[in-house]
Amino acid sequence: MNNLGNFLTLSTFGESHGIAYGGIITNFPAGIEINFEEIQHQLDRRKPGQSAIVTQRKESDTVQFLSGTFEGKSTGTPIGFVIYNENQKSKDYDHIKNNYRPSHADFTYDQKFGIRDHRGGGKSSARETINWVAAGALAKHILPKNVEISAYVSSVGEIFCEKPYQDLDFSKIDDNDVRCPDAETAEKMIAKIKEIKKEGNTIGGTITCVIKNLPVGIGEPIFLKLQAELGKAMMNINAAKGFEYGSGFCGAKMTGKEHNDLFNEDFTTKTNLSGGIQGGISNGMDIYFRVAFKPIATLLRPQESFDKNGNPIIVEGKGRHDPCVLPRAVPVVENLAAFVLADLFLMNQIRKV
């Protein structure tokens, strides 16, 4: 229920300025050799403080696995992990204890639960995604080795990476701070983020994700369609506002004659407006989707608002905040996708006798 995944499941906990984050993964198959360094590497890609265009909160974000592996391999039993918070500065948030920041979850949490851990947004902080990166990087071990999942920043504000994904070299995604593999566009994006940051402002953008070499057959006919499971996962990311796959919203303008993907003799398709999925099930072609992210709501500049009693106040973010969520969201999208795929991959193993 409050899990990610259906057969392979992830349960998580943690608040931004609490003691720790962590999670439990169940139904992970036995006998898989785990590359713990690769998992930590994925967390490092998401870590604060890694460049000038992200928050300077100091966290090592070191994940410790507490169970479920033995002598480097999975044992088939639940895998628990924990990531301790190190740089809690609860005092930084005293000023928002009774205040409602615009476009934050302060008001809705208070209304829903009648109580709120206000420190750094508590449970509503995007720091929760640290759990998803750890779990997704682990889940990726379940997929066939040749499955490649590559996400990159495809737009920042009005600056778009206009090359189709086929023309990009995904090995260059991490070559720059913004994680756009097209160097020229990346430079413009970085300049834009720096400019926005200087104003104490923030900016939105999109991430594109491409999945190559996924076997045919992944996804289930109803309620667990591959695109629905990917969409659900992505729409749970904190600032996500939209999801599209294949032709997406553009496809809604087309006719069937334009949109249908004709087959080749080997059952690959000549075009791929379908985005690698038919009837909710992978067809062996590339899967690609795009996620829209709004600008982060915390501004380092004054905004008018109200406290919980309805008194007018001025709120102003202090200290350590991201001007743009995109660069750090790239590993979140990738690893979250890995988790979704691993879950559906396992289910597909027992679909026919």
Given the complex with a second copy, which of 171 and 219 has the nearer CB atom? 219
Query: Is 280 marked as a binding-site residue?
Result: no
54 near a second copy, judged by CB under 8 A: no
Minimal distance in Å, beta carbon 203 to a second copy? 5
CB 22 within 8 A of CB 12: yes
Query: Is 35 marked as a binding-site residue?
Result: no
* Residue numbers 13-32 binding a second copy by CB under 8 A: 13-15, 18-24, 26-27, 29-32
Cα gap 148→130, rounded to integer Å: 21
CB atoms within 10 A of CB 248: 15
Name every residue whose Cβ is closer than 8 Å to that of residue 141 and which is 6 or more positions away in sequence: 32, 33, 34, 35, 74
- From 53, 135, 296, 330, residue interacting with a second copy (rule: CB under 8 A): 296
Minimal distance in Å, beta carbon 27 to a second copy? 6
Given the complex with a second copy, which of 158 and 171 has the nearer CB atom? 158
* Residue numbers 139-158 binding a second copy by CB under 8 A: 155, 157-158
Binding region for a second copy (CB under 8 A) out of 45-53, 78-86, 163-171, 177-185:
78-86
How far from chain centre, in Å, is Cα 22?
Answer: 16
Cα gap 243→230, rounded to integer Å: 9
**Token output for 75:** 């044992």
* Residue numbers 102-121 binding a second copy by CB under 8 A: 102-105, 107-109, 111-117
Cα gap 3→19, rounded to integer Å: 21
Query: Is 213 marked as a binding-site residue?
Result: no
CB 46 within 8 A of CB 21: no
Q: Indicate the burial class of 23 (C-beta count within 10 angstroms; 0-12, 13-18, 19 or more).
A: buried
217 near a second copy, judged by CB under 8 A: yes
Count how many Cα atoms sit within 13 Å of the Cα of residue 56 in the half-sphere of its side chain: 5
Cα gap 120→127, rounded to integer Å: 9
Binding region for a second copy (CB under 8 A) out of 53-61, 165-173, 181-189, 271-279:
271-279
What is the DSSP code string of 87-154? ---GGGGGGGTTEE-TTSSHHHHHHHHS----GGGGGGSGGGHHHHHHHHHHHGGGS-TT-EEEEEEE
**Token output for 185:** 């566009």
Minimal distance in Å, beta carbon 83 to a second copy? 10
41 near a second copy, judged by CB under 8 A: no
Minimal distance in Å, beta carbon 171 to a second copy? 26
279 near a second copy, judged by CB under 8 A: yes
Minimal distance in Å, beta carbon 184 to a second copy? 20
Given the complex with a second copy, which of 173 and 340 has the nearer CB atom? 340
Query: Is 185 marked as a binding-site residue?
Result: no
Given the complex with a second copy, which of 61 and 244 has the nearer CB atom? 244
- From 243, 288, 340, 342, residue interacting with a second copy (rule: CB under 8 A): 243
Q: Indicate the burial class of 35 (C-beta count within 10 angstroms; 0-12, 13-18, 19 or more).
A: middle
Minimal distance in Å, beta carbon 58 to a second copy? 20
Minimal distance in Å, beta carbon 276 to a second copy? 10
- From 58, 175, 263, 318, residue interacting with a second copy (rule: CB under 8 A): 263
Tell me the one-letter amino acid at 184. Answer: E
- From 59, 61, 182, 261, residue interacting with a second copy (rule: CB under 8 A): 261
- Binding residues, as ranges, are 46, 238-239, 279, 294-298, 320
- Binding residues for NADP(+), as ranges, are 46
